[in-house]
Structure 1
Amino acid sequence: MAEKIKIPHASRYLNHVDIGDGTALLYSGASLCMDLVPGEYALRLAQGGDLSFLSSEETAHLLRRGHLTYLTPRREVAEFRKQVRVILEKRDRLDRKTSIANLCFILTYHCNLSCSYCYQKSLAEKTTVSYMSGDFVDRFFTDYYPQLFPKTPRKLFITLFGGEPLLPGNREGITRVLAYARRRPSIGISVATNATMVPEMADLIGPGRGRIRHIQVTLDGDRQFHDGNRVPASGKPTFDATIAAVRQLIALQAKVSLRLHIHQGKLDSAQNLVAYLEKEKLLGHPQLTVYFSPINTFDSEQNSPADAELFGRLFQEVASKTGMPPSNFDFLGSFLDMQSKKILPKVRFCGAGGDNFLIVDPLGDLYGCYEEAGHRQRRIGILSRGKVRFSQLKESYGRRHLLNLPECLRCSAALLCGGGLPE
Structure 2
Amino acid sequence: MSLDQATRVGGERLLRGKRNWWFLGPGGIVRLGGRHVTADGALLPETELWLRERGMFTTRPARAYALTVLTSTHCNLGCGYCFQNTAQDPAGGGRPPRIAQTRLTSQTITSVLAFTERQMAAVGLEKLRILLFGGEPLLNPRGCLELLERAADIGQSSAWMISNATLLTPRLAGQLADLGLDSVQVTFDGDRSDHDRIRIGRADGSGTFDTIVRNIVRASEAAPIRWTLRVNVSQENIRGIDDLIGRLSDALDPARCTLYFARVGDVGIGYANDLHTGELSAAFIRWQRRALDLGFTVTRPGSHRPCTTCGHTGGRYGAVVSADGTLSSCWETAGKSDWEVGTVADGYVSGAKADDRWIACEDLYRYDEDARALAEFRDSVDTALLDHLDETGRL
Q: Secondary structure at the match of 2:83?
A: coil
Partner of residue 239, structure 1: 209
Distance 1:389 1:134 in 2: 22
Native 8 Å contact 1:353 1:397 kept in 2: no
Residues 159-205 of structure 1: per-residue CA shift (max 9 Å, x gap): 111111101xx133223202213446642121111111112862654
Q: Secondary structure at the match of 1:173?
A: helix
Rate the CA distance shift 1:171–1:90 in 2: closer, same or farther, 3 A.
same
Q: CA deviation at 1:266?
A: 3.1
Partner of residue 62, structure 1: 34
Distance 1:125 1:70 in 2: 51
Native 8 Å contact 1:27 1:34 kept in 2: yes
Q: CA deviation at 1:206?
A: 5.0
Distance 2:118 2:176 in 1: 31
Rate the CA distance shift 1:271–1:195 in 2: closer, same or farther, 3 A.
same
Partner of residue 264, structure 2: 295
Partner of residue 119, structure 1: 83
Distance 1:374 1:88 in 2: 38
Partner of residue 145, structure 2: 175
Partner of residue 317, structure 1: 290
Q: CA deviation at 1:132?
A: 1.5
Residues 324-372 of structure 1: per-residue CA shift (max 9 Å, x gap): 42x4xxx61xx4xxxxxxxxx5453554152111100023221221112
Q: CA deviation at 1:228?
A: 0.5
Q: Secondary structure at the match of 1:147?
A: helix
Quote the sequence identity (%).
19
Residues 226-256 of structure 1: per-residue CA shift (max 9 Å, x gap): 1101111212221111111110121122222
Rate the CA distance shift 1:127–1:201 in 2: closer, same or farther, 3 A.
farther
Q: Secondary structure at the match of 1:291?
A: strand
1:62 alignment partner AA: G
The alignment's TM-score, normalised by the length of structure 2, stands at: 0.70
Distance 1:324 1:308 in 2: 19
Rate the CA distance shift 1:104–1:256 in 2: closer, same or farther, 3 A.
same
1:279 alignment partner AA: D
Alignment of 1:89-128 (within 5 A): 90-91=58-59, 94-95=60-61, 99-122=63-86
Native 8 Å contact 1:206 1:252 kept in 2: no
Q: CA deviation at 1:316?
A: 1.3
Native 8 Å contact 2:148 2:180 kept in 1: yes
Q: CA deviation at 1:380?
A: 3.0
Native 8 Å contact 2:69 2:322 kept in 1: yes
Distance 1:110 1:296 in 2: 21
Q: CA deviation at 1:259?
A: 1.5
2:194 equivalent to 1:225: yes
Rate the CA distance shift 1:129–1:235 in 2: closer, same or farther, 3 A.
closer
1:198 alignment partner AA: L
* Residue segments in structure 1 that go unaligned for 5+ positions in a row: 1-12, 19-23, 36-60, 336-344, 401-406, 418-423
Number of aligned positions between the proteins: 332
Native 8 Å contact 1:283 1:290 kept in 2: no
Counterpart of 2:228 (choices 253, 257, 260) is 257
Distance 2:214 2:244 in 1: 15
Distance 1:70 1:294 in 2: 31
The alignment's TM-score, normalised by the length of structure 1, stands at: 0.65
Alignment of 1:24-423 (within 5 A): 24-28=19-23, 33-35=30-32, 62-63=34-35, 65=36, 67-68=37-38, 90-91=58-59, 94-95=60-61, 99-122=63-86, 130-142=102-114, 144-151=115-122, 153-167=125-139, 170-183=140-153, 186-199=156-169, 202=172, 205=175, 207-208=177-178, 210-232=179-201, 233-253=203-223, 254-264=225-235, 266-280=237-251, 282=252, 284=254, 286-297=255-266, 302-303=276-277, 305=279, 307-322=280-295, 324-325=297-298, 327=299, 332=301, 335=302, 345-348=303-306, 351-354=309-312, 355-383=316-344, 386-392=345-351
Native 8 Å contact 2:71 2:133 kept in 1: yes
Rate the CA distance shift 1:146–1:309 in 2: closer, same or farther, 3 A.
closer
1:352 alignment partner AA: C
Bigger radius of gyration among the two: 1
Distance 1:90 1:365 in 2: 34
Q: CA deviation at 1:99?
A: 4.2
Q: Secondary structure at the match of 1:374?
A: coil
Q: Which has the higher contact order (CA 8 A, sep 6+)?
A: 2
Native 8 Å contact 2:71 2:323 kept in 1: yes
Rate the CA distance shift 1:394–1:188 in 2: closer, same or farther, 3 A.
farther
Native 8 Å contact 2:183 2:228 kept in 1: yes
Distance 1:363 1:165 in 2: 14
Distance 1:368 1:27 in 2: 33
Q: Secondary structure at the match of 1:198?
A: coil
Distance 2:137 2:81 in 1: 18
Distance 2:278 2:237 in 1: 11
* Residue segments in structure 2 that go unaligned for 5+ positions in a row: 1-12, 88-95, 267-271, 361-370, 383-395
Distance 2:30 2:170 in 1: 49
Native 8 Å contact 2:339 2:357 kept in 1: no
Q: CA deviation at 1:107?
A: 1.8
Distance 1:25 1:267 in 2: 32
